[in-house]
């Protein structure tokens, strides 16, 4: 009874330690970004496996079935039987061989259980190591503006911002055809034109087919700055009233 009580006390202490380890695993996974339920499940599995392994390793009593010792005290009756000759020795059943076979089978079963527990622990440790490994940072999104294709060409946009372009026809010198041509170059807003420097103005003056020099001649930059800031020009007021187009 005392031996059984000692085994139960040993197992209880080890299960408490395993539970604490499971809680630590759960907290570690929560810090690593795991969901609450997933972290709790992994912590519980780790605690159970660790408790089973420690209980088996520390609290399991030694194998009680042993093979007979190599040397045993000699019984006087055996001496008398041996002296009487082989015919006088009574026939004994071969129980020792059977006991040895049973002991070997039990030992093999325990080895198999140990190997299974070790495989489960190794698999769980590998999974937790993969979960703790830092994830690569997402690649930054590409800028909205496309890179200039030629030296001096103004940077354009793939599409107007928020899906709505400015009415570039409010700039004196920009009609419907020129507005379409500017859109093809990725120019949709007043602030794009207002930001052009001398190189961009020169490039546009030379590459607007059929409208060479129009940017400089009509001062698109000055008009675009006024309109981009929310102001109006005399020409833009006429466009708003419908007097031009």
> CA of 74: how far to CAs of 16, 82, 87, 221, in Å?
50, 12, 20, 121
CA atoms of 64 and 120, how far apart (whole Å): 28
pLDDT digits (tens, 9 = 90+) for 112-147: 888 888 888 888 888 888 777 776 665 554 444 444
Q: What angle do CA 79, 82, 87 make, to 5 degrees?
A: 145
- pLDDT for position 65: 37
Domain borders along the chain are 2-63+97-132, 161-241
Choose between 63 and 199: higher pLDDT. Answer: 199
Question: Is the predicted pLDDT of residue 107 greater than 50, yes or no?
Answer: yes
Closest CA to 68 of 47, 37, 97: 97
CA atoms of 93 and 97, how far apart (whole Å): 10
Question: Is the predicted pLDDT of residue 202 greater than 70, yes or no?
Answer: yes
Four-residue CA torsion sign, 63, 67, 72, 78: positive
Choose between 1 and 123: higher pLDDT. Answer: 123
């Amino acid at each position: 009874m005392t031996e059984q009580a000692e085994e139960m006390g040993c197992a209880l202490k080890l299960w408490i330690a395993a539970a604490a380890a499971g809680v630590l695993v759960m907290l570690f996974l929560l810090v690593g970004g795991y969901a609450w339920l997933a972290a709790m499940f992994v912590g519980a599995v780790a605690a159970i496996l660790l408790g089973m392994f420690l209980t088996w390793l520390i609290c399991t009593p030694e194998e009680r079935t042993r093979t007979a010792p190599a040397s045993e005290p000699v019984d006087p009756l055996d001496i008398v039987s041996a002296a009487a000759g082989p015919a006088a020795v009574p026939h004994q059943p071969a129980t020792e061989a059977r006991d040895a076979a049973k002991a070997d089978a039990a030992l093999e079963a325990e080895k198999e259980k140990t190997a299974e527990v070790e495989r489960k622990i190794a698999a769980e440790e590998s999974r937790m190591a993969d979960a703790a490994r830092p994830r690569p940072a997402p690649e930054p999104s590409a800028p909205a503006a496309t890179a200039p294709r030629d030296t001096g060409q103004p940077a354009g946009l793939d599409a107007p911002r928020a899906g709505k372009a400015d009415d570039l026809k409010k700039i004196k010198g920009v009609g419907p055809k020129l507005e379409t041509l500017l859109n093809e170059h990725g120019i949709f807003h007043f602030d794009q034109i207002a930001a052009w420097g001398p190189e961009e103005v020169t490039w546009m003056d030379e590459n607007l087919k059929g409208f060479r020099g129009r940017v400089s001649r009509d001062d698109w930059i000055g008009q675009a700055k006024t309109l981009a800031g929310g102001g109006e020009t005399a020409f833009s007021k006429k466009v708003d009233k419908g007097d031009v187009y």
